[in-house]
């Protein structure tokens, strides 16, 4: 007796099932990308912390200003360098627990709203070294300065002299870290090779001595330029050191700054 063979038709994926699979793959890929991004960011911060520690370790004796912002009482920011360069909190600058060490780590940083708030460290000779200089600090930018060429992290630039006298370390309008120093010629501008991301912590350093200036972002060296020493300052007018501003129009920084240090020596690193 003939028995008919029964063929089962293979079921095809429906459009909804296909879309579901694509969605799951997208979610998994996105999670993997986020994980890789977080790992890369953690590695960047770790490298920057190691670099900042190396500066402290090698240049400690030449420290002329050390403001970690953990101690602010009645608007006075304590200097821990031993030089007595306590600074004054002005405007709407305020404390925050958001620091490079993490939120709620028992440390403090200073928030600048970008509208005429700053920290004034005064017109002190110890903060204006002439033969060697290193500035080290942490910053977390909320925005790039679109109203001027840069915003200042720290500045001793005198607004009463042209060309400007003193030094500046800040954030250029395109996200690069920028340094400026006046020498026996006119002035030198120097930039990082990388850009700083908004709403993330970064470390910046400017160092110069022996006719060579270098700038660093997160421990990575940017430009290296020659300059004609010594570093010059305004000897007639007030040449105060400011943080969060340089008191030359529209140079206010909007973001957070932490652990600012000024040394009268240069740090050399590959």
Which residue has better confidence, 240 or 169?
169
What's the confidence (pLDDT) of residue 35?
Answer: 60
pLDDT-based confidence at 162, cuts 50/70/90? low
Q: Three-state SS string across the chain, please?
A: CCCCCCCCCCCCCCHHHHHHHHHHHHHHHHHHHHHHHHHHHHHHHHHHHHHHHHHHHHHHHHEEEEECCCCEECCEECCCCCCCCCEEEECCCEEECCCCCCCCCCCCEEEEECCCCEEEEECCHHHCCCCEEEEEEEEEECCCCCCCCEEEEEECCECCCCCCECEEEEEECCCEEEEEECCCCCCEEEEEEEECCCCCCEEEEEEEECCEEEEEECCEEEEEEECCCCCCCCCCCCCCEEECCCCCCCCCCEEEEEEEEEECCCCCCC
What is the arithmetic mean of pLDDT over 69-94?
A: 93
As a whole number of angstroms, the distance between CA 71 and CA 92 comes to 17
Question: Is the pLDDT score of 40 beyond 70?
Answer: yes
Residue with structure tokens 């340089």? 246
Separation of CA 187 from chain center: 22
Question: Is the pLDDT score of 259 beyond 60?
Answer: yes
Strand partners, 50: none
pLDDT-based confidence at 7, cuts 50/70/90? very low
pLDDT digits (tens, 9 = 90+) for 141-156: 999 987 778 999 999 9
Question: Is the pLDDT score of 104 beyond 90?
Answer: no
What is the arithmetic mean of pLDDT over 2-12?
A: 52
What's the confidence (pLDDT) of residue 13?
Answer: 65
Using a pLDDT cut of 70, give the percent of the chain over it: 87
Task: Tell me whether residue 187 is exposed, middle or buried, using C-beta atoms within 10 angstroms of its C-beta: 0 to 12, 13 to 18, 19 or more.
Answer: middle
Write down all domains in the chain, each with its CATH number in brackets: 39-263 (2.60.120.200)
Is residue 170 within 8 A of residue 178, CB to CB? The reply is yes
What is the arithmetic mean of pLDDT over 92-101?
A: 91
Inter-CA distances, 147 with 54, 58, 202, Å: 35, 38, 22
Of the given ranges (22-26, 254-258, 264-268), which has the lowest mean pLDDT?
22-26
Q: What is the dihedral of CA 64, 67, 71, 72, to 10 degrees?
A: 100
As a whole number of angstroms, the distance between CA 163 and CA 157 comes to 10
pLDDT-based confidence at 64, cuts 50/70/90? very high
What's the confidence (pLDDT) of residue 200?
Answer: 97
pLDDT-based confidence at 116, cuts 50/70/90? confident
């Amino acid at each position: 007796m003939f028995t008919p063979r029964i063929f089962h038709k293979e079921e095809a994926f429906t459009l909804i099932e296909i879309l579901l699979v694509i969605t799951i793959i997208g979610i998994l890929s996105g999670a993997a990308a986020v994980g890789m991004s977080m790992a890369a960011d953690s590695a960047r911060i770790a490298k920057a912390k190691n670099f900042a520690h190396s500066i402290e370790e090698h240049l400690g004796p030449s420290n002329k200003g050390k403001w970690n912002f953990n101690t602010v009482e009645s608007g006075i920011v304590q200097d821990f360098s031993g030089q007595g360069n306590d600074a004054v909190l002005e405007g709407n600058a305020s404390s925050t627990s958001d620091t490079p060490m993490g939120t709620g780590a028992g440390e403090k940083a200073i928030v600048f709203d970008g509208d005429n708030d700053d920290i004034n460290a005064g017109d002190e000779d110890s903060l204006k070294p002439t033969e060697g200089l290193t500035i080290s600090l942490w910053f977390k930018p909320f925005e790039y300065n679109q109203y001027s060429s840069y915003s200042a992290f720290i500045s001793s630039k005198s607004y009463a002299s042209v060309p400007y006298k003193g030094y500046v370390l800040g954030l250029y309008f395109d996200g690069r870290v920028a340094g400026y120093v006046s020498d026996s010629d006119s002035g030198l501008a120097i930039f990082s090779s990388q850009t700083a991301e908004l709403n993330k912590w970064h470390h910046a350093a400017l160092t110069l001595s022996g006719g060579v200036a270098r700038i660093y972002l997160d421990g990575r060296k940017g430009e290296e330029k020659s300059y004609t020493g010594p570093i010059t300052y305004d000897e007639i007018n007030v040449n105060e050191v400011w943080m969060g501003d340089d008191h030359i129009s529209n140079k206010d920084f909007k973001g957070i700054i932490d652990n600012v240090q000024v040394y009268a020596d240069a740090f050399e690193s590959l």
